[in-house]
Amino acid sequence: MRRKIITMALFVSMTLLAASCQKEENSCSEMSAIELSNAKTISYSIDGKMYSVTVQNEAEYDELLTTLLTVAKNGSVVKLYNTNNYNNGAKETITYQTHNLNQAKAWVKDMQDAGYNVTMVYDKDQDLFICTATND
């Protein structure tokens, strides 16, 4: 009886071991390729110190912009740099002011997509995000 139990235990463990060694089909490879195609590198500075980060999708980009606006709200000067080298030749500066973080984030995103460098500061006295886009 004991020999049967040991044999059966060995059989079950060998079956489980063999099943765990089988190559699993990767059903996420197509989705991963799609997500990576949306990846982009964002260069920015906080109080003059340069940083660079790669975001994989729009949700990560939104989260980064929220974080950077929060940093600006805490008193730092934050600047996002145009990394797509788009410049139509004419120097232009556009300023946007809002009390709403989400509106500031949407405007910053639009200006970045249009090829502008964007500087973000916060005026505590007026409770106001001041965002300036330049194409220099």
pLDDT tens, N- to C-terminus, the chain (136 residues): 555 555 555 555 555 555 555 555 555 545 444 444 678 899 999 999 999 999 999 999 999 999 999 999 999 999 999 876 555 567 889 999 999 999 999 999 999 989 899 999 999 999 999 999 998 7
Amino acid identity, position 123:
D
Nearest 5 degrees, angle CA 14-CA 25-CA 12? 15
Q: How far apart are the C-alpha atoms of 77 and 55, rounded to whole Å? A: 21
pTM of the predicted structure, to 2 decimals: 0.69
